[in-house]
Structure 1
């Protein structure tokens, strides 16, 4: 593509932001509902797992679907079905039924995430991809910030049902995006990108990046469990401070997303991505030594800043290293790695809280992620020297391996 369709980029980013707001609105509302009704922690854990498991398990299928099917059809159908499921969820009171419906919503996410991610590189020129990816990440971060706040406001004033109905309406943004975005993948066989064989293990650099990403995300997701005990019990801060600490990470991610898009394309390399992973973990390690929750604000903003930059960096590297006909599968695999790591972090963190001091657990998470990133750095640097240039798919230019990993 020789031009950039910023109209399509803004439509895609807007739909991601609105649907992300709906996702976090629903997750916060349902967790509060289960807690208020006296259900055990296992119900909340089941809710979190139901939201993550389908994305991880279905990634091979939904990634292939995103590469082969009409992107407009996928967005419209998935968004409409999610709106219907969310509407039913608003009138459901049984925990088991809630968890099952949340799993169905996650099946829709497993389709829409790789579809939108693979569409973005098709909308823009290569030099505009960092900015376009940054807009999508920024919109998602804003949605993640707005969702929980909106949930608290609505549940406190009108109860959970209006919040869940608003979540159902948010999925219509995906339907609108599907109808309005002019860029399409798989629209007609004559125009679709060729579906080419692709396996993650054939790309040593991406395999190493994904491995490091997995360990880092396990640690960061475990922090979501540890930090409430660390802030409230160890540091003795009130619940309001804990809420602001959580929000400061997302605020930092917004800053990082904006800053990284200003970098020239040559800086979007595997080595810098791994360095950003280490930078994400360093503030967490330092946090284990603080004596007041006030210090967590600058630390969490720094961690979130590097996290936001890393998200954009990985999206751009993936688009450059994977041919267009396989990008749906590649982005689906990246989502699967992230969601699987989240689940592992949640599962591992729960029992540890009962046996170890929260301060030690926070420091251990930061140290583990930092060590994993440092260990992977020489592996990423050697991978690009060892692997031969990729053969381009028919009618396509070869991905720019040397320029994105070094």
Structure 2
């Protein structure tokens, strides 16, 4: 434990790291407040669940459609200028959202807001390795994940209070202010954070057709060059489907099947989120590539068993315990996989890989909600959790076998 704390203290001694972490946490809190405000605004229109579904879809759409461009900008554009511009665009969009009230205008401005996020977010990740000693980016990622887990719920709570007292515009103006803090943090970064392409970096992949314009092909090429990391990253996508598919039926399992109250449902969500924060911090115990890979593979399998346990839980407390375990393991997985991406890949393609993972994860999340609703409707919430866990277990087994083959091929090649 002391060694983990020393590792984190080492990266926190870097002033730029403290600035980036603080600004990012503030921005996450602002985003959560804005999300609450936007959902409540759309709810008040009386247009029904479809309008909220459209809003949630628009929040993820730019991340999917711009991942090719976002990856290219992250790896080739001046990072400081890009981060400042995208933060200012998001701030302006948030101010405009506070000023308008119509549903159509809200949807259009949400697209603008999220496009700014989609184009800037991969660059924020790509600059991290340039701020810390080699091999230390994973520690910063773990701290980012932990702070995100704390700042998100806090921001949502503040957003709810602001909407209750002053209306949605107050929460949206708060979000606009946090983007200004993000822009200020970007200005403090060094003038040149881009690394040089090394001999190990794959050559830029040419774009072909519309798919080449959407997908960050350089990111895919970089993952092909590191088969083990490629397996771990790609395994996240079906895991997103199996994990998020139960979101649509979770409330029915907790409230209707297990007979828990509204406060207990909220407690389960809080425990899951808190455990993820602990998991992100604990991931710092894995410091070598081998340890990280083995930990991720083990966590994949344990998450699957945790989902099955949730589905078969005889009572609320058992469900709560399994939920805490799943949250803890997901915190470990998210921190370690992103840490591997930033520490192991060449500087020329980190942004493209981050954009690829973000975009495909959003697309997988949309598919997950659809599948979860179908399975939950046909078989009930318990069946949905068990089926999701079985799917996660299959993904874990395939990923472990693929990594084993890749390691064998490397050692005998």
Query: Which TM-score applies when normalising by structure 1?
Result: 0.88
1:29–1:164 CA contact under 8 A, matched in 2 = yes
| Offset from partner CA, 1:115-155 (integer Å, 9 cap, x none) | 11111111111343332221111122122221221222222
The CA distance in 1 between the partners of 2:121 and 2:269, in whole Å, is 24
Greater mean alpha carbon deviation, residues 57-66 or residues 313-322: 313-322
Q: Secondary structure at the match of 2:341?
A: helix
Q: Which residue of 1 aligns with 2:15?
A: 7
Q: Which residue of 1 aligns with 2:86?
A: 78
Residue 266 of structure 1 deviates from its aligned partner by 4.3
Decide which of 146, 153, 157 is 2:165's aligned counterpart: 157
The CA distance in 2 between the partners of 1:202 and 1:57, in whole Å, is 25
1:144–1:250 CA contact under 8 A, matched in 2 = no
The CA distance in 2 between the partners of 1:279 and 1:155, in whole Å, is 39
Q: Secondary structure at the match of 1:218?
A: helix
CA RMSD, aligned part only?
Answer: 2.3
Q: Which residue of 1 aligns with 2:287?
A: 264
Decide which of 19, 26, 30 is 1:22's aligned counterpart: 30
Q: Which residue of 2 aligns with 1:318?
A: 341
Decide which of 287, 297, 310 is 1:274's aligned counterpart: 297
1:378 aligns with 2:386: no
Closer/same/farther in 2, CA of residues 389 and 18 from structure 1, 3 Å limit: farther
Residue 185 of structure 1 deviates from its aligned partner by 2.3
Map 1:111-122 to 2 at 5 A. 111-122=119-130
Query: Which TM-score applies when normalising by structure 2?
Result: 0.86
1:284–1:366 CA contact under 8 A, matched in 2 = yes
Closer/same/farther in 2, CA of residues 269 and 261 from structure 1, 3 Å limit: closer
Decide which of 349, 352, 355 is 1:329's aligned counterpart: 352
Residue 85 of structure 1 deviates from its aligned partner by 0.4
Decide which of 139, 154, 165 is 2:147's aligned counterpart: 139
1:283 aligns with 2:284: no
| Offset from partner CA, 1:16-58 (integer Å, 9 cap, x none) | 2122222222222222222233222111111111111211221
Decide which of 198, 210, 215 is 2:233's aligned counterpart: 210
The CA distance in 2 between the partners of 1:139 and 1:9, in whole Å, is 13
Q: Which residue of 2 aligns with 1:397?
A: none
1:134–1:257 CA contact under 8 A, matched in 2 = yes
Greater mean alpha carbon deviation, residues 83-92 or residues 233-242: 233-242
1:297 aligns with 2:305: no
Q: Which residue of 2 aligns with 1:306?
A: 329
1:119–1:183 CA contact under 8 A, matched in 2 = no
Q: Which residue of 1 aligns with 2:362?
A: 339
Aligned length: 384
Residue 256 of structure 1 deviates from its aligned partner by 0.6
Q: Which residue of 2 aligns with 1:31?
A: 39
**Structure 1 unaligned regions, length at least 5:** 391-406
Q: Secondary structure at the match of 2:190?
A: coil
Residue 183 of structure 1 deviates from its aligned partner by 7.0
Q: Secondary structure at the match of 1:324?
A: coil
Closer/same/farther in 2, CA of residues 358 and 128 from structure 1, 3 Å limit: same
Residue 84 of structure 1 deviates from its aligned partner by 0.6
The CA distance in 2 between the partners of 1:27 and 1:348, in whole Å, is 24
Map 1:83-94 to 2 at 5 A. 83-94=91-102
Residue 368 of structure 1 deviates from its aligned partner by 1.0
